[in-house]
Each structure stands twice: as C-alpha cells, then as structure tokens.
Amino acid sequence: MREYPSGRVDLRSDTVTQPTAAMRAVMESAAVGDDVLGDDPTVQALQIRLAEMLGKEAALFVPSGTMSNAVAIRAHTSPGDEIITETTSHIYQYEGGGYAALSGCSISLVPATRGIMNPDDVANAIRKAEGSLGHYPDGTMVCVENTSNRGGGTCYPQEILDSIAKVAHDNGCVAHIDGARLFNAVIATGTDAARMVRDYDSISICLSKGLGAPVGSVLVGSSDFINRAHRWRKMFGGGMRQAGVIAAGGLFALDHHIERLAEDHTRARKLAEAVNAMDGFTVDMESVQTNMVYIDGDLDAKEMMARLSKHGIDVLDVGPTAVRAVIHLHITDEDIDRTIAAFAAL
C-alpha cells in the first residue's frame, strides 16, 4: 500500500505515515461531540475498544505518546518520587525530562541488552525512602518499553515482562508499559495483547506509529487510575473537543492495520539481511525483531544520509556512524529493493 504523496522512500520513522483514503473516509464521516464535556461517541468507542483489547477497565485518548507517558507518570507518582526505567528509553531520552518538570520525579536508570531489562537489574534500581534515613527518593513506578525503540525494535519475552511486573509490585511500585509499538510486539511474538499486559497497571498505546493513524495515543488502566489521569490530561492541556475526527482514524487502524504489521516485519528483515551482507555495513540481526533496522556503517552517518538521500531514500542518523530505517505501511517490496540498491551503491 503506497498511497504516499512522494516518490521518495521515507524510512525515517513509522510516524511519517499519512492516513490512507479509506481511513480519511471514516474520519470525514465520524460522529463527533465535545469530548471535554464527555460527548464524543467516537472517542468513547475508541477508549472502550482499547480497554477491552488490553483487558483493563478504562482508557483515555490523548494527543501524543509523550503526553500519555507524562500523564501516566503524574497520575502514578508524587513529587519527590523516583521512576525506574531503561537507559535508552523514550521516557528518559526523548521526552524533554518531563518526568522531572511535570511530575517532580527523579529517575533511576537500568542498563539493558538490546533495550530489554533484566528483572534483577530492575530490582537493584528500586530505591526506597523508608529505611534510608530519608536519603533516598521513593521509587514508586517501573516503566518498561515494548517494543524497545533504541533496542532495535526488540520485544520483551513474556516471562521477563511478567517478572518485571512482579519485581515492581513486590517492591511497592506500579508497573507501566510504554507500548508506543505494543502491537508490533503482539504480532511479532504471537501473544494476545491482554495477556501481554496482564500484570501491568497502565499501558500507553500509540495510534500514530506503525498503526498509521495521523494523531493520538491511548492510556489504558483501571477506572480509578484513568479518573486521576483525566484530571492531569486536563491540566497538561490535552483535553480535546471534537476529537472523534482523529479517534476515528485510530479505530480504523485497530480494525485494519494490526495484522498487516507482519508485512512490515518481513520487509525489515529482508532489508536487514541484505545490508548486513554488504561490505561496510553491519546490522545486529538479533535486534531485528519488528519494523526497525539499525545500520552501522564505515561512513559518517550524516554522509550516509546525504548519499542515500540522492537515491531518494530517507533514513535518520542515530549515532556517529549509525542510521535507522523504519518500515511502515507505505513501504512496498519495490521500496525495499530500491533501498537495498541504494546501500549497495554507497
């Protein structure tokens, strides 16, 4: 499915997707109301749908994945608390330090392999004020990212996810999943979504990444948690009025764009294998589990980007000699062949 207003192959991120004609049609005809007054039937349908899919009581539509994580952190913690998460996680690296500025939390970082934390390392990273003569902050929230973006789009094995939730709960913490790409993990591992998140207190799902909706994320959890999150969404300025127009794109994505993620994963693997076989490039093949390919080259990353760009291929630099290619619903088999040819010509 190309439906893309450009002849370029845009692999910078799965956030570059544009609503397809079919998605736009349902958005155009969506029933809407004032969601701040609780009137928007399409937003409500989306919230109910995702809560059901994840086996939780309630959900809240928010404008972005960053706001979803921020609202979750604010609703789960008090100023002076500490959150526990992985060193390369989006919450730590790419959310502007929101955990500190918006929630007054410090952060305890957990090392990981390919973005996947070990439960013992999580346990070691949880600090408690009690028993420390007041020296430590109170670790109260463990955040797990599945799939792990900077890990390479890697998926948590279910037993590790379950163990981390247990470690969190045994140590008086809530457990949160930044599931910006949870459905990539669901498809790649063949695990039911509700089973995957069973032991977690809250989950953030992005509709505007691999699922291909233009805007929006959904925070999912217990009714009590979502009631608190609703208040923080309001304070953070995330209450939207006739949001059903965009929620309709999200509902369409849940209906039509989950199973097809398998195609993105197959194409990512094909690209990774081909580039890894070339002299001058290395791909950690074990990290290629979903729709992302991190490529390390002999060339400077900016130079790699510039040269690929001349072939009509857009990637993102993610390190001095590393670029990232992300496969999404507009990328066809021909686009993959074109990208492989471009790498071969560098």
Ligand X SMILES: Cc1ncc(COP(=O)(O)O)c(C=O)c1O
Beta-bridge partners for 243 = none
- Can you spell out the DSSP letters for 126-182? ---STTTTT-S-EEEEEEEESSBTTTTSB---HHHHHHHHHHHHHTT-EEEEEETTH
Q: Is 202 in the site for ligand X (CB under 6 A)?
A: no
Scanning 53-61, 62-70, 219-227, 304-312 for contacts with ligand X by CB under 6 A, the matching segment is 62-70
The conformation of residue 113, written as its DSSP 8-state character, comes to: B
- In the β-sheet with 322-326, what is the strand arrangement from edge to edge? 281-283, 292-297, 322-326, 316-319
Q: Which stretch binds ligand X (CB under 6 A): 58-66, 132-140, 266-274, 336-344?
A: 58-66
The helix/strand/coil state of 259 is coil
Segments of the chain assigned E as strands = 9-10, 58-62, 81-86, 106-110, 138-145, 174-179, 202-206, 217-221, 281-283, 292-297, 313-314, 316-319, 322-326
> What length is written for the chain?
346
- 176 near ligand X, rule: CB under 6 A: no
Is 20 near ligand X (CB under 6 A)? no
Consecutive H or E run containing 100: helix 98-101
Render 237-252 in DSSP notation, one character per residue. T---SSTHHHHHHHHH
* CA gap 181, 185 in Å, rounded: 7
- Site track 277-316 with ligand X (rule: CB under 6 A), x = hit: ----------------------------------------
When CB distances to ligand X are compared, the closest residue is 65
Given the complex with ligand X, which of 38 and 319 has the nearer CB atom?
319
Residues 127-146 that bind ligand X (CB under 6 A): 145
Among residues 83, 206, 243, 245, the one that binds ligand X under rule CB under 6 A: 206
The answer to whether 107 and 100 have CB atoms below 8 angstroms apart is yes
Least Cβ distance, residue 255 to ligand X (angstroms): 21
Say if CB 336 and CB 271 are below 8 A apart: yes
Helix (H, G, I), strand (E, B) or coil at 305: helix
Q: Which is nearer to ligand X, 180 or 196 (CB)?
A: 180
Q: Which of 64, 87, 158, 171 binds ligand X (CB under 6 A)?
A: 64
Binding status of residue 90 toward ligand X by CB under 6 A:
yes
Query: Between 147 and 166, how does the x/- string for binding to ligand X read (CB under 6 A)?
Result: --x-----------------
Using CB under 6 A, pick the residue from 35, 40, 82, 178 that binds ligand X: 178
Give me the 222-261 binding string for ligand X, x by CB under 6 A, dash otherwise. Answer: ----------------------------------------
Task: Choose which of 51, 54, 65, 242 interacts with ligand X (CB under 6 A).
Answer: 65
Which residues of this protein are in contact with ligand X, per CB under 6 A? 15, 64-66, 90, 145, 149, 178, 180, 206, 208, 217
